[in-house]
């Protein structure tokens, strides 16, 4: 597998000489593979946009190296790097037509006129904007401007395409449609995409791999399923999706199971990931959709525990239930509506709660 | 806020205000068509004074001087103001930035007579006597802040992402300026140039002080005509100067209307 972008020990400090020095990135290292849809995910201020701007060349690194296909680029001017950017607010040139915007990069690269014309037509067709080449950016809707920005960045056939929250300015329906289109565009062109977003749903839906960032550091890098199912720490588990956190203590270890005590006496078993010892204080994470709620029956199944519904939120395709398990344990779980559309449980119902030993995660602190 | 119609008597006061402001100018224009030799005695309609003014060699020379001074001063001042605005708006933070900004705009607040005396003393101290050249240099100094302000305002309102996008699309710094910054800045530059042109055409005190014999501009010439006695010829010349100013301001207004939406999408 070829490495497209190699970030080595990159640090970025803003105004390093003043008293207000801000460390935006601290010793970041990561590799992005060729032909990959790679997402930098994190809350605002986590350094994801800074990293993107370092790759594009709009900011200078304070330390470390950035390699683009084995070529050192961190000291090159932005126009000497074969990467192109799709800006958050598109940054289309208002004094040029759509076609001139798309041709801009090709003209600076001194491509022959005929080739420029053909390429402009090809990429505008690719983003379904062929008919609107004569328009000015201010005559286009937000979604159309988005497509032009994509076409303009794709036209010079960059080695890597950088996307800075390109969907954040669109409304919900359009955003969801553009997700699929972006993913398809990446597959068709085979260009490496580096996508910056704070929207975890967007990241899970489109990415081959995700780097979750917080406070200028990388928390975890992995495929969407790895990130969701095996969060490396509490931050990742909390930022990606919804989950129940419980504080506990490890009381027993076997080859493949960890027994944790939560509250004063409740014991839970979960898979042994091999990083813990008896007596460790740990945080456990349990996703709401992994919890099964059922009617409480008298024949006491070992896997089932009793609970009481304290609150519910109707969400249409499902209902979120707050369940009091006793011993100070509160869980949020999900249940689908019954076939007749009615809710399976009501507030105050006593119910049975169950989940598999593989559902609960012991998190590193 | 209440609609203005709510305040009684406001429209009457506004009318009085505008009459006070514009009536003298209307009277001036009216009497420029007077066929009588006396300024304030109406002797019937005529354009004799315009013809006379057009054929007056001194006036021709003064108009020519004014145009030369205004054109050259505007060109140089606008170029300097553009470079200054680019440095101040795009040059990042550097030592003395705030001071520079203050010094560029300060001449707007310095009384003109102070500048005039200072420039006059400066020229005689270094013994420089370039005739019209002295006037041009003096005009450049006070035109710079007028050219600078609209250019800087335009630059400040411009999205810096546009310039980054150009750099990202393989444009060098020069190409970025040539193809993105400059075209988007143009309305600001034109506005600055028109403003300094009008200011230069109109200037009296500094020109009177600095200009020697042979470098009389139109405002200075009109002043000397008044001292020799009022004739409707002065009205005619003033009216033409007014028309030229209005033409320039109108051109600027139309231009800025047309280009406004290119910046603000």
pLDDT tens string A109-146: 999 999 999 999 999 998 889 999 999 999 999 889 99
pLDDT at position A297, please?
76
For residue B105, give the nearest of B172, B152, B65 by alpha carbon: B152
Q: What are phi and psi of A161, to 5 degrees?
A: -105, 125
Residues of B in contact with A89 (CB under 8 A): 159, 161
pLDDT tens string B141-154: 999 999 999 999 99
Q: Is A324 found in the same domain as A271?
A: yes
Q: Is A40 found in the same domain as A167?
A: yes
Residue A272 has pLDDT above 60, yes or no: yes
Average pLDDT, rounded, for chain A: 90
pLDDT at position A327, please?
83
Q: Is A207 found in the same domain as A338?
A: no
Residues of B in contact with A92 (CB under 8 A): 165
List the single residue in A84, A94, A138 with the smallest CB-CB distance to B169. A84
Q: Is A272 found in the same domain as A233?
A: no
**pLDDT cut 90: percent of chain A above it:** 62
Residue B95 has pLDDT above 80, yes or no: yes
- Which of the four pLDDT bands, split at 50, 70 and 90, describes residue B264? very low
Which stretch of DSSP H or E encloses residue B261?
helix B232-264
pLDDT at position A168, please?
86
pLDDT tens string B74-94: 999 999 999 999 999 888 788
User: Which of A87, A91, A153 to probe the B interface (max B CBs under 10 A)?
Assistant: A91
Residue B229 has pLDDT above 90, yes or no: no
- Which of the four pLDDT bands, split at 50, 70 and 90, describes residue B19? very high
Instruction: Judge: A156–B169 Cβ closer than 8 Å, yes or no.
Output: yes
Residue A342 has pLDDT above 60, yes or no: yes
pLDDT at position B136, please?
94
User: In three state form, how does the secondary structure of B205-254 look?
Assistant: HHHHHHCCCCCCCHHHHHHHHHHCCCCHHHHHHHHHHHHHHHHHHHHHHH
Instruction: Judge: A152–B169 Cβ closer than 8 Å, yes or no.
Output: yes
Q: Are A333 and A279 a contacting pair, CB within 8 Å?
A: no
The larger pLDDT score, comparing residue A216 to residue B255, is at A216
List the single residue in B169, B171, B262 with the smallest CB-CB distance to A95. B262
Domain boundary among A237, A267, A294: A237
Average pLDDT, rounded, for chain B: 87
Task: Tell me the shortest Cα–Cα distance from A94 to chain B, in angstroms.
Answer: 5
Residue B260 has pLDDT above 60, yes or no: no
List the single residue in B166, B168, B172 with the smallest CB-CB distance to A56. B168
pLDDT tens string B151-201: 999 999 898 999 999 999 999 999 999 999 999 999 899 989 998 998 999
Q: Give chain A's domain count.
A: 2
Write the ipTM. Answer: 0.84
Instruction: Judge: A109–B170 Cβ closer than 8 Å, yes or no.
Output: yes
**pLDDT cut 70: percent of chain A above it:** 98
Residues of B in contact with A108 (CB under 8 A): 169-172, 175
Instruction: Judge: B169–A108 Cβ closer than 8 Å, yes or no.
Output: yes
Residue B208 has pLDDT above 80, yes or no: yes
Q: Is A151 found in the same domain as A18?
A: yes
Instruction: Judge: A109–B159 Cβ closer than 8 Å, yes or no.
Output: no
Question: Into which CATH architecture does domain B52-264 fall?
Answer: Orthogonal Bundle (1.10)
Which pair of tokens denotes residue B39?
């300024």
Q: Is A276 found in the same domain as A148?
A: no
Compute chain B's Rg from CA coordinates.
23
Task: Tell me the shortest Cα–Cα distance from A229 to chain B, in angstroms.
Answer: 37
Segment of A251-255, B14-18, B257-261 carrying the highest mean pLDDT? B14-18
Residue A364 has pLDDT above 80, yes or no: no
Instruction: Judge: A156–B168 Cβ closer than 8 Å, yes or no.
Output: no
Q: Is A222 found in the same domain as A330?
A: no
pLDDT at position B265, please?
40
The larger pLDDT score, comparing residue A39 to residue B35, is at A39
List the single residue in B166, B170, B265 with the smallest CB-CB distance to A138. B265
For residue A149, give the nearest of A97, A90, A194, A100 by alpha carbon: A90
Domain boundary among A237, A266, A292: A237
Q: Is A177 found in the same domain as A59?
A: yes
Q: Are A155 and A119 a contacting pair, CB within 8 Å?
A: yes
Instruction: Judge: B159–A137 Cβ closer than 8 Å, yes or no.
Output: no
Domain range for A332: 242-363
Q: Is A192 found in the same domain as A134?
A: yes
User: Which of A93, A109, A140, A142 to probe the B interface (max B CBs under 10 A)?
Assistant: A93
Residues of A in contact with B184 (CB under 8 A): 94-95
pLDDT at position A208, please?
96
The larger pLDDT score, comparing residue A266 to residue A238, is at A238
Instruction: Judge: A95–B162 Cβ closer than 8 Å, yes or no.
Output: no
Task: Tell me the shortest Cα–Cα distance from B74 to chain A, in angstroms.
Answer: 26
Residues of A in contact with B172 (CB under 8 A): 77, 79, 108
pLDDT at position A32, please?
96
Residues 6+ apart with CB under 8 A from A20: none
Q: Is A211 found in the same domain as A308?
A: no
pLDDT at position B56, please?
87
Q: Is A215 found in the same domain as A267?
A: no
Q: What are phi and psi of A273, to 5 degrees?
A: -90, -5
Give the residue extent of every domain in chain B: 52-264
CATH number at residue A113: 3.40.50.300
Instruction: Judge: B165–A91 Cβ closer than 8 Å, yes or no.
Output: yes
pLDDT at position B36, please?
76
**A74-88, A150-164, A296-310, B94-108: which has the minimum mean pLDDT?**
A296-310
Flag whether residue A17 sits within 8 Å of chain B, measured between CB atoms: no
Q: Is A266 found in the same domain as A131?
A: no
pLDDT tens string A149-195: 999 999 999 999 999 999 988 888 888 888 998 999 999 899 999 99
pLDDT tens string A21-80: 889 999 999 999 999 999 999 999 899 999 999 999 999 999 999 999 999 999 999 999
Flag whether residue A152 sits within 8 Å of chain B, measured between CB atoms: yes
- The position carrying tokens 């140089």 is B76
CATH number at residue A264: 2.40.50.140
List the single residue in B164, B172, B262 with the smallest CB-CB distance to A94. B262
Residue A302 has pLDDT above 70, yes or no: no
Instruction: Judge: B167–A94 Cβ closer than 8 Å, yes or no.
Output: no
Flag whether residue A94 sits within 8 Å of chain B, measured between CB atoms: yes
Flag whether residue A137 sits within 8 Å of chain B, measured between CB atoms: yes
Task: Tell me the shortest Cα–Cα distance from B156 to chain A, in angstroms.
Answer: 16
pLDDT at position B259, please?
61
């Amino acid at each position: 597998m070829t490495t497209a972008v190699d970030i080595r020990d990159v640090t970025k400090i803003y105004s390093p000489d003043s008293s207000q020095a801000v460390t935006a990135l601290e010793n970041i290292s990561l590799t992005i593979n060729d032909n990959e849809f790679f997402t930098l995910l994190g809350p605002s201020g986590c350094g994801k946009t800074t990293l993107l701007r370092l790759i594009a060349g709009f900011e200078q690194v304070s330390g470390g190296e950035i390699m683009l296909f084995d070529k050192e680029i961190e000291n090159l001017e932005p126009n000497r790097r074969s990467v192109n950017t799709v800006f958050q607010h598109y940054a289309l040139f208002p004094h040029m037509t759509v076609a001139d915007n798309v041709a801009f990069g090709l003209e600076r690269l001194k491509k022959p006129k005929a080739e420029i014309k053909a390429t402009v037509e090809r990429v505008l067709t690719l983003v379904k904007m062929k008919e609107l080449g004569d328009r000015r950016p201010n005559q286009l809707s937000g979604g159309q401007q988005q497509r032009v920005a994509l076409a303009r960045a794709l036209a010079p056939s960059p080695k890597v395409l950088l996307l800075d929250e390109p969907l954040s300015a669109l409304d919900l329906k359009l955003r969801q449609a553009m997700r699929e289109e972006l993913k398809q565009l990446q597959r068709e062109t085979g260009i490496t995409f580096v996508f910056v977003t704070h929207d975890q749903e967007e990241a899970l839906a489109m990415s081959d791999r995700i780097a979750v960032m917080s406070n200028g550091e990388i928390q975890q890098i992995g495929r969407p399923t790895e990130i969701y199912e095996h969060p490396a720490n509490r931050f990742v588990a909390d930022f990606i999706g919804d989950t129940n956190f419980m504080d506990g203590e490890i009381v027993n270890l076997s080859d493949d199971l960890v027994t944790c005590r939560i509250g004063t006496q409740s014991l839970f078993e979960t898979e042994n990931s091999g990083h813990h010892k008896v007596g460790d204080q740990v945080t456990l994470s349990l996703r709401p959709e992994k919890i099964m709620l059922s009617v409480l029956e008298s024949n006491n199944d070992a896997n089932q525990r009793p609970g009481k519904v304290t609150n519910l939120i109707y969400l249409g395709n499902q209902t979120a239930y707050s369940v009091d398990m006793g011993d100070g344990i509160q869980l949020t779980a999900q249940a689908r509506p019954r076939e007749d559309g009615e809710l399976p449980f009501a507030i105050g119902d006593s119910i049975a709660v169950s989940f598999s030993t593989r559902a609960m995660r012991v998190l590193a602190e | 806020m209440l609609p203005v119609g709510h305040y009684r008597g406001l429209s009457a006061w506004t009318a009085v205000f505008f009459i006070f402001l514009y009536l003298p100018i209307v009277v001036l224009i009216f009497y420029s068509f007077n066929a009588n030799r006396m300024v304030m005695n109406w002797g019937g309609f005529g354009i004799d004074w315009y013809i006379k003014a057009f054929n007056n060699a001194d006036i021709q020379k003064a108009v020519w001087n004014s145009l030369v001074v205004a054109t050259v001063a505007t060109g140089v001042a606008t170029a300097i103001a553009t470079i200054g605005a680019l440095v101040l708006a795009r040059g990042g933070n550097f030592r003395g930035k705030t001071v520079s900004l203050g010094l560029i705009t300060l001449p707007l607040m310095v009384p003109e007579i102070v500048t005039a005396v200072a420039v006059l003393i400066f020229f005689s101290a270094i013994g420089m006597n370039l005739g019209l050249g002295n006037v041009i240099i003096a005009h450049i100094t006070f035109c710079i802040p007028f050219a600078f302000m609209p250019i800087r305002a335009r630059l400040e309102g411009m999205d810096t992402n546009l310039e980054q996008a150009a750099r990202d699309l393989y444009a060098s710094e020069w190409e970025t300026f040539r193809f993105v910054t400059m075209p988007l800045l143009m309305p600001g530059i034109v506005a600055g140039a028109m403003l300094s042109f009008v200011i230069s055409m109109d200037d009296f005190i500094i020109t009177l002080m600095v200009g020697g014999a042979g470098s009389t501009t139109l405002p200075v010439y009109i002043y000397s005509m008044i001292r020799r006695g009022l004739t409707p010829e002065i009205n005619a010349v003033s009216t033409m100067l007014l028309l030229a100013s209005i033409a320039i301001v109108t051109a600027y207004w139309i231009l800025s209307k047309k280009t406004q939406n290119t910046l603000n999408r």
